[in-house]
Structure 1
Amino acid sequence: MFKQIVTLIRGRAHEAEEAFGDRHALPILAQQIRDAARGVESARRAVALAIAQNRLEKENAERLSARIDDLETRAIAALEKGREDLATEAAASIARLETELLNARQVQAEFTDGIDRLRQAVRQSETRLAALRRGERLAEARDRTRRLSRDVPGNDLATLSDAEATLARLETRQREAELTAEALVELEDRPDPTALAEKLAAAGCGRPLVTSAEDVLERLRAKANPTL
């Protein structure tokens, strides 16, 4: 029984740990990426330091080689002059310098191989870091979208639909008003047939539309003097 309780506690602790990690996944990821970025930067500095040390070893090897060449030339000159003692001393120095040169070249070769491996490792780390940063940005965008969908309740979504419908009706009414105003302008611009007929009649074109007083007087005269 006690073993089962311990197992249950461990299981609950594991679930709590996973739940905590899920809730804070983005901040944890961001910190991990920052840590990784510092690690990549440290590795880059280590490569730069190794390159600098390799160049120093190369310069040292070049100096040793130049000293050896100079001593050999001088030792040969000493032999030509019969100075075996000087030639022997020069030979001992040349042997010591050649040992140093051999060691310097071995160190330089090791540096060269190590630098190539470090450069490759840094390039791979930089590529992975860039992929992590792209993934982080994508995860942040997805999380914001998820939180937006979660935080907007169904009633609010319905309100959005209602607002869209209201806007559509308003736009329809506004368009109807615009078309009505345009039609009224067109009607006002058209000539009135009645007014046009009156205008033509007043100008003596066709039968008068309105009986004048003179016409009435002439008619009365005709009735008063039917014999005329």
Structure 2
Amino acid sequence: MSFKKIWTALKGGANEAAEAVADSQAIRILDQELREARDELKKCDHNLTSIMAKRKLAERKVESMSADVAKYTEHALSANEQGNEALAIECAERVAELESQLDTEQALLNGFKQSETTLKSNIAKAKTNVRRMEQQIDQVKATEAVQKAQVAVSTRHVGANSKVKTALDSLDRIKQKQTQRAAELEAAEELASEESGSSLDAKLRAAGIQPGGDVSGKDKLAQLLAKKSG
């Protein structure tokens, strides 16, 4: 095998080992990522609250300046109607100054509104993703628990079947040993009978050659009559 192939095999083995470690820690990693996402969302909510507060302040300032512009505009017109041109000009200058400030504040207000709208949209999307992530993690945990239970049950089932098979094999061996022992005992008794001559005596009695053998009724009557006449 070339060095390149050896390196490829080692690299593949290392990748598989790394993947196995990552898989074993997958749920822990997902939980950690979820916690970090929640923390980021809290920060986003805090930033949104700050922007909303600044937007409200800017709105109030714009409203106040708009009211001032309207007020000094009315004063300028009133002074002009009364023939007080100097006062009318002074009020008009104040209106111009307020309108310039109002344009600046309105631009700031528009920026706060745009930021608030964008941030609300992004936060809503992020919260949707977090809820989806929570759902997936819960599903993964539930599936993992079910599969572990299934593996445990399957392992016990296989183990139980293995134990039952082992017990049945042992039972068959015991039966075979008992059958062999019974045959050996029967053979031993047969040998003992032959050695003591009892087997031969039994054969002689059966043939009527030895006393105690089987005797017919006719022969027995002849024996009785012989004893009587004698």
TM-score w.r.t. the length of structure 2 is: 0.58
Q: Name the counterpart of 2:74.
A: 73
Deviation of 1:80 (Å)? 3.2
Identity across matched positions, percent? 26
Of the two, which has the highest radius of gyration?
2
Map 1:11-50; keep pairs closer than 5 Å.
14-50=15-51
Corresponding position: 1:85 with 2:86: yes
CA distance in structure 1 between the aligned counterparts of 2:42 and 2:85, rounded to whole angstroms: 58
Q: Could you say if the C-alpha distance between residues 93 and 10 of structure 1 is closer, same or farther in structure 2, counting changes exceeding 3 Å?
A: farther
Q: Name the counterpart of 1:125.
A: 126
Q: Could you say if the C-alpha distance between residues 13 and 55 of structure 1 is closer, same or farther in structure 2, counting changes exceeding 3 Å?
A: farther
Tell me the amino acid that sits aligned with residue 86 of structure 2.
Answer: D
Deviation of 1:9 (Å)? 7.1
CA distance in structure 2 between the aligned counterparts of 1:124 and 1:98, rounded to whole angstroms: 39
CA distance in structure 1 between the aligned counterparts of 2:137 and 2:10, rounded to whole angstroms: 33
- Pairing partner for 1:158 from 157, 160, 164: 160
Deviation of 1:93 (Å)? 1.9
Q: Name the counterpart of 2:144.
A: 143
Q: Name the counterpart of 2:107.
A: 106
Deviation of 1:15 (Å)? 3.8
**Number of matched residues?**
160
CA distance in structure 2 between the aligned counterparts of 1:16 and 1:30, rounded to whole angstroms: 22
Q: Name the counterpart of 1:199.
A: none
Deviation of 1:150 (Å)? 3.1
TM-score w.r.t. the length of structure 1 is: 0.59
Tell me the amino acid that sits aligned with residue 124 of structure 1.
Answer: K
Tell me the amino acid that sits aligned with residue 148 of structure 1.
Answer: A
Q: Could you say if the C-alpha distance between residues 156 and 17 of structure 1 is closer, same or farther in structure 2, counting changes exceeding 3 Å?
A: closer
Deviation of 1:139 (Å)? 0.7
1:28-83: CA deviations, max 9, x gaps?
10010111111222222322322222221111110001111111222223323443
Tell me the amino acid that sits aligned with residue 45 of structure 2.
Answer: R
Q: Could you say if the C-alpha distance between residues 139 and 75 of structure 1 is closer, same or farther in structure 2, counting changes exceeding 3 Å?
A: same
Deviation of 1:8 (Å)? 7.2
